[in-house]
Amino acid sequence: MDSLVLFCTGALLAGGLYWFVCILGPAEQKGKRAVDLSGGSISAEKVQDNYKQYWSFFRRPKEIETAERVPDFVDTFYNLVTDIYEWGWGQSFHFSPSIPGKSHRDATRLHEEMAVDLIDVKAGDRILDVGCGVGGPMRAIAAHSRAKVVGITINEYQVKRARMHNKKAGLDSLCEVVCGNFLEMPFQDNSFDGAYSIEATCHAPKLEDVYAEVFRVLKPGSLFVSYEWVTTDKYRADNPEHVEVIQGIERGDALPGLRSYSDIAETAKKVGFEVVKEMDLAKPPALPWWTRLKMGRIAYWRNHILVTVLAAVGIAPKGTVDVHDMLFKTADYLTRGGDSGIFSPMHMILLRKPSES
């Protein structure tokens, strides 16, 4: 009898552990398991050192003196966080407004589909994803529009993940991924029928530089839509709490200084674009985009315990706990930014490259 009780107890514990790690562990899109967390292209023994270097560099985002080093540290950031993002959030590394009756996944997909609908492309057109990550938006947009999407990301590990996901989804014939810097894109002039960027250009030290590159590679008359991270008209630089929140977002998301919403259109015009439409998609009647962050607090603590255990036994690299903790603190700053209305991750601007006369 004692043996039976012991066996049943062991089986229950084993089943619970399996459920905790393998069922709860993967991201909602089943992209990554907790036991597979890594430092991307960074070797396991160097994850902690790279995290410390990253944190030191972005400690005071607006005081960064060596802007030319920003791309390298953005690359480091995505090596550190990509697996955690996939595991805890999904394959689309961005926010979307909550939609009544829709899951987070559906709301995300609709937000992505809207981007390609805005640039008015047709099946077979060649379009550019500026800062594609592991390709969540790319796949949704390719499936929705049947356009051929070329994505660019600075991170080689994300390129590998995106190609794997594209093939698994059966969309590799429509989706191409290139490793490169969107400030110096390896594409010919006038070679794309449209372009979009979803919460990616915020990593550029100067927005003008990335907009100029998009302008260069677009065909005349083509459209470009970008969802920008900005401070809103409610932000006050003389309010210490506002400054704390914005700097917290910048530090935890590899941002060399957030831009004001009022600067976006002027920057676009400066490089030659015509502004077709501009609006903050986070404003009412849109429902809060940060709801998912609030709802994820219990999941965070569950995940943090799991990451701590995996790091302690040597399955996850040392430093993973620090990275996970940084992301949780950043989520709190993002939530505060949303609650106060001083920050938006979806200031939409639709631009056109003028047609040749």
pLDDT tens profile 254-280: 999 999 999 999 999 999 999 999 999
Lookup: tokens for 100: 């009544």
How many Å apart are CA 165 and CA 168, to the nearest integer?
5
pLDDT tens profile 7-63: 555 555 555 555 455 545 444 445 577 778 888 999 999 999 999 999 888 876 666
pTM: 0.90
Integer CA distances (angstroms), 34 to 9, 25, 119, 303, in order: 24, 5, 37, 8
Position 3 confidence tier, pLDDT thresholds 50, 70, 90 = low
Residues 6+ apart with CB under 8 A from 39: 46, 47, 50, 79, 80, 83, 317, 319, 320
Residues 6+ apart with CB under 8 A from 204: 70, 182, 183, 210, 256
* Structure confidence at residue 66 (pLDDT): 65
Which has the minimum average pLDDT: 40-54, 63-77, 162-176, 301-315? 63-77
Q: What is the average per-residue pLDDT within 200-227?
A: 97
* Structure confidence at residue 357 (pLDDT): 37
Name the percent of the chain lying above pLDDT 70: 89
How many Å apart are CA 316 and CA 286, to the nearest integer?
38
